[in-house]
Amino acid sequence: MTGELRIDHLSKVYQSDKGPLASHNVFDDVTFGVKAGEFVSVIGPSGCGKSTLLNIIAGLDRASQGAVFIDERAVSGPGMDRSMVFQEFALFPWLNVRDNIIFGLKSLGLSAAERGARAAKYIKLVGLDRFSDYYPNRLSGGMRQRVGIARALAVEPAVLLMDEPFGSLDALTRRSMQAALSDIYLRTRKTVLFITHDIDEAIYLSDRVLLLSGEPSRLSLELRIDLPRPRDHRSGAFQGHVETLQQAIIQSRSASSINTEANL
C-alpha cells in the first residue's frame, strides 16, 4: 500500500422525514487527491462538513454521491488501510499506555511478542518511553493524544486521518503537539489528511491546505505550502500564507451572505 487517496465528486445530503425541502446538502461535488506521503489539511467554518467528509473517507459514513479511493481501491466501509485520530482521546482508562496500543493490534494476527515490539516502537516514536506503564488518568492531555497517535500509527495504515486532534488542548500544549506531529510526519512520511479550523496549524503542518466553504460547501481554494520544515510562525512567508487564507475565508463568507440574501 502506498497510501494515495482520491476523493471523486463527493456529495453528502442528510435526508429528512419532513420531505425533500427539509433535506440538508452539507457539501457538493468535492474532488481532490492526496499523494502518497503527503500531508494535506482541510479547513473551513463550523458546519461546513469537514468531519463528515473525514468520516466518509474512514468508512464510518456513506456519501450521497461520489466515491473514495485508496490506491485506486474503492472505500466501502472501515478498513485497516486507514486509522483515525479523534479530538476526544478515546483511551481505555483500565489499560496502561502499552496495553492501549496493543489492544488495537489484536485484529492483525500478530503474536504477543510482535504486538509488544510494535507497541514499543510507536511509544518511542511519540516520545512516551518512560510512560508506557502509566494509565490515562496520570497523563496530561497532550500525552494522551500522543498515545492516540501511537495507537493509530501502530496498525501501520496507508492513510492517517486526523479530526481536529488538538482542538481540546490549551494553547501551549497545542503548539507543542503541532511540533511533535510535524516531527513524527517527517520520520514516517505517512499520508495524512488533517481536519482543523486553525489556519496557523494548517500552514505549520501541511504540504497543501484546502478550504471548504459555501452552502453547500465546496472546495474554494487550494494553497500549496512551500516552506521548509520546521516552520517559523513569525516569518514573513508564513504570515503571507495566513493572510491568503484569511482573505479567502472572508470572501467565501461574503459570497455566502450574498447568495442567502438573494434567495430570501
- DSSP assignment of 80-100, as one string? TTEEEE-SS----TTS-HHHH
Is 228 within the bounds of a domain? yes
Dihedral sign computed on CA atoms, order 90, 45, 74, 67: positive
pLDDT for 259? 52
Is 1 within the bounds of a domain? yes
Which amino acid is present at 27? F
Q: Judge if 243 and 168 occupy the same domain.
A: yes
The C-alpha atoms of residue 155 and residue 131 are separated, in whole angstroms, by 20
The C-alpha atoms of residue 194 and residue 201 are separated, in whole angstroms, by 10
Quote the cell numbers at residue 135.
Answer: 494509565
pLDDT at 263 over 90: no
Q: Judge if 168 and 243 occupy the same domain.
A: yes
Dihedral sign computed on CA atoms, order 123, 127, 130, 136: negative
Residue 168: what are its φ and ψ, rounded to 5°? -95, 5
Q: Judge if 57 and 165 occupy the same domain.
A: yes
Bridge partners (DSSP) listed for residue 8: 67
Q: Judge if 103 and 152 occupy the same domain.
A: yes
Is 203 within the bounds of a domain? yes
| Share above pLDDT 90 across residues of the chain, in percent, rounded to a whole number | 82
Give Cβ neighbours of residue 113 (< 8 Å, ≥ 6 apart): none
Q: What is the pLDDT of residues 145-167, one digit of tens each?
A: 999 999 999 999 999 999 999 99
The C-alpha atoms of residue 132 and residue 123 are separated, in whole angstroms, by 7
Residue 145: what are its φ and ψ, rounded to 5°? -70, -30
Is 87 within the bounds of a domain? no
Q: Judge if 35 and 164 occupy the same domain.
A: yes
pLDDT for 24? 81
Residue 255: pLDDT band (50, 70, 90) is low
User: Domain limits at 111?
Assistant: 92-156
Strands 24-34 and 191-195: unpaired
E strands, the chain, are 5-14, 24-34, 39-43, 65-70, 73-74, 82-85, 159-163, 191-195, 208-213, 218-224
Query: Which stretches of 63-135 are DSSP H helices?
Result: 97-103, 112-125
pLDDT for 264? 41
Is 86 within the bounds of a domain? no
Q: Judge if 189 and 70 occupy the same domain.
A: yes
Quote the cell numbers at residue 70.
Answer: 485508496
Mean per-residue pLDDT, 82-94: 91
Residue 17: pLDDT band (50, 70, 90) is low
Mean per-residue pLDDT, 176-201: 96
Quote the cell numbers at residue 20.
Answer: 425533500
Residue 87: pLDDT band (50, 70, 90) is confident
Q: Number of structural domains, the chain?
A: 2
In the chain, DSSP finds a helix count (H) and a strand count (E) of 7, 10
Q: What is the pLDDT of residues 216-235, one digit of tens each?
A: 999 999 999 999 999 999 99
Q: Judge if 7 and 62 occupy the same domain.
A: yes
Q: Which is higher by pLDDT, 52 or 17?
A: 52
pLDDT for 19? 58
Q: Judge if 168 and 104 occupy the same domain.
A: no
The C-alpha atoms of residue 261 and residue 33 are separated, in whole angstroms, by 34
